[in-house]
Each structure stands twice: as structure tokens, then as C-alpha cells.
Amino acid sequence: MISVVISQAQGKNPAKQQLEAELVAALSSEADVKVSLVPHLYDLAAEHSATQFLRAIPGDVIVLSWLYPRAARWILDRQNIRGHEGISLLESKSDEDDDDESPARKNGNGHCEVPDARPLPNRKIYCLDLRDHSNASVYLDEIHRIASEASMPLVDLFSFLQTQPQAERLEKYLRPLDLLAEQKTATSLDDDDDAPANGEVVRRRWYPVIDYSRCTNCMECIDFCLFGVYGLDPLGSILVEQQDSCKKGCPACSRVCPANAIVFPGHKTPAIAGADGEVGDVKIDLSKLFGAPSAVELAARERDVELVRDGRDTVGLTIGIPKRLKDKPKKPRDELDDLIDSLDALEL
């Protein structure tokens, strides 16, 4: 028996809803699969009943979401839905540029480098990106392959839920296909909000997700953010303490993280949204050639915009600028410096 969770897309895209519906329809008839439909993972609050339901699932889980697998995995981790990383054999968009072994990727081996007192359950969580393929059969084949290799004992999820105090509410998330259509029909909601059938409003959210397989606990994000989003746990590990204090649409701190460990799953740039690779993933920093702002300058500008929106003074590059840049010793000249000087001389 394996649990399959489908995390619904934000909004009302018919093609996405169709794919979700096809998967639910196909999996509902399979005896050794328990399929559940939950709102978009990123938007779920810690106390939402779908989050509680996800926490209560025992054994291996396959999570299909409209997110890069790295983003989905660490969103789940922070909600205390944890397990070892299950490896999917599906071709993923996030693998496409994954052909080097940059410093930022060397820690990305699935284990946490930052102190974490929570025990890691002995089960696997497989995260599949629903944006990778439009054909439901591709996902069904992969689910069958994973189910055949799953090693956890048979667990009757429905029986398990009956023992839980909130079983009645939780069961609403084990919804049959015909509830898909009524899921987003509530009135008096912002366009940004989705209302699941049980009446709990799910609002669009925006906050950083830390990939702890990359994070080195260097604290540059907490120094940079002037909006109180980051904090420390009792072990001194960085955490996103006030998720909803983050400024919607702003990805500034992801640009200053030296480990490329900060993910904004809703950002349009794949590397910021959780694709493998680096936020500033260019072999030569073209900004030096064409006078564009560096990633840190861009981050400082984005932060200033949010400070002004809050009625505060701008700080530019005077606060929270990465120590590695401030204390950087002067490098000896190299060929790139010569090239830049030559271009300057041409006065292009």
C-alpha cells in the first residue's frame, strides 16, 4: 500500500485541473493505492486540516504537486512531514541544466547540514512535478514503479484516520473525483484565494523556503532581511520564523544566499523557484561586462523598494551585505579584467 497525495494547482487552469482529475480517477480504483487531494502545498498553513492530514500519513508517500521537487520537499519538511528523499526516475525540467557540480550543489545530497533535533522517520517521500508531463499515464507508470519498490508495511489509512480526534474533518480531504469541481466555487474570496470544499480558505502565500541540504547556517539571510522573517531555533539553526512577514513578489534574500539555499516556489526564475542550479548561474558574470547590477545590488534594490512601501528609509548596500563581499580581498588582475578594460576603452 502506498499513499499518493495530489496537491492542487493555484487558480483555475483547466489543463491542470484535467490532469489532476485524470490521476485521481485512475488511482481511486487501485486497491493498493490511497489517493488524496489537498490544496496547493505552499499555501497551506501549519494548522490547516490538510496539513494535519499529511502529517498523519504513515509510510511512504508520493506527492505530486505543481512545484519543483526540491521546493515541495522542503515545504513538507518545515510542516513536519518528513522522510528520506525518494528518488523518482521521471525526467524532470529541473534536471535539464544539471550537468555540473558547482559548490552550491555539493551539499545537495538530501541530508541536512544544519543541526535539527527532529528524528527523521524511516520512510520515503517522493516528490513529482506535475509540470513536467501533460500525460497522466507517465505519472501512473512512475507511481506503479515506486509502489513496487516501496518497503513499508501495509497500512490501512482510513482505519488509521478513524483513530484520530479530527478524523471527521480529515476525511474531507480524501475526496472523490466529483468534488474537484466544487472546490473553488466559494464567493466573497479574493481572486488569489482558493476555497476547498470543507470551507477552510486557502490564501496565496509568499515566503522563503530553506533547502537545508544546501544551507550552511551562515546567517547572511537573517542579517540581510529587515522585515523579521528569519529567526533561530533553540539549536541556533536558521529558520523562517514569520513566513507571512515576507514581502509578496520579492525574492531579495535568495540572491544573497551564498549556498543558493533559499527558494521562492512562486518565482518565475527557475533557479529561485527551486530548480536545480544556481540563482546566479552564469559562468562569467555578464553584469560586469554590461554594467547591469550584480545579484547583491539587485537584492538591495528590491529590499529598498519594500522598505519604501513600508514607509521606511532605504538602506542600499549599507546593511546586511554579505560578509564575503565586504571583506573580499583585492584579487590579482585576470584575463576577464583585461577584457573589461578593453571593452571600456572601446566606449561601447
**Applying CB under 6 A, which residues contact ligand SF4?**
208, 210, 215-221, 224-225, 227, 229, 238, 246-247, 250-253, 257, 259, 261-262, 303
Q: Phi first, then psi: what are they for 92, rounded to 5°?
A: -125, 145
Q: Which is nearer to ligand SF4, 232 or 339 (CB)?
A: 232
Angle value at C-alpha 85, between 83 and 87, nearest 5 degrees: 145
Q: How far is the CB of 205 from ligand SF4 (least distance, A)?
A: 12
- H, E, C per residue of the chain: CEEEEEECCCCCCHHHHHHHHHHHHHHHCCCCEEEEEECCHHHCCCCCHHHHHHHHCCCCEEEEECCCHHHHHHHHHHCCCCCEEECCCCCCHHHCCCCCCCHHHHCCCCCCCCCCCCCCCCCEEEEEECCCCCCHHHHHHHHHHHHHHCCCCCCCHHHHHHCCCCHHHHHCCCCCHHHCHHHHCCCCCCCCEECCCCCCCEECCCCCEECCCCCCCCCHHHHHCCCCCEEECCCCCEEECCHHHCCCCCCHHHHHCCCCCEECCCCCCHHHHCCCCCCCCCCCCHHHHHCCCCHHHHHHHHHHHHHHHCCCCCCCCCCCCCHHHHCCCCCCCCHHHHHHHHHHHHCC
Q: Which is nearer to ligand SF4, 194 or 304 (CB)?
A: 304
Q: Which is nearer to ligand SF4, 128 or 225 (CB)?
A: 225
Q: Which is nearer to ligand SF4, 147 or 222 (CB)?
A: 222
Q: Which is nearer to ligand SF4, 219 or 319 (CB)?
A: 219
C-alpha cell at 233: 531555533
Pairing status of strand 262-263 against strand 209-210: antiparallel
Q: How far is the CB of 300 from ligand SF4 (least distance, A)?
A: 10
- CB-based contacts of 304: which residues, under 8 Å, 6+ apart? 314, 315, 316
Q: Which is nearer to ligand SF4, 143 or 257 (CB)?
A: 257
Q: How far is the CB of 210 from ligand SF4 (least distance, A)?
A: 5
Q: Which is nearer to ligand SF4, 1 or 305 (CB)?
A: 305
Q: How far is the CB of 225 from ligand SF4 (least distance, A)?
A: 3
Task: Calculate the alpha carbon distances from 85 to 25, 125, 241 in Å.
Answer: 27, 5, 24
Q: Which is nearer to ligand SF4, 2 or 250 (CB)?
A: 250
Q: How far is the CB of 74 from ligand SF4 (least distance, A)?
A: 11
Q: How far is the CB of 265 from ligand SF4 (least distance, A)?
A: 13
Q: How far is the CB of 309 from ligand SF4 (least distance, A)?
A: 11
**Amino acid in position 26:** A
Q: How far is the CB of 261 from ligand SF4 (least distance, A)?
A: 4
Q: Which is nearer to ligand SF4, 116 or 200 (CB)?
A: 116
Q: How far is the CB of 98 from ligand SF4 (least distance, A)?
A: 20
Q: Which is nearer to ligand SF4, 61 or 259 (CB)?
A: 259
Q: How far is the CB of 305 from ligand SF4 (least distance, A)?
A: 10
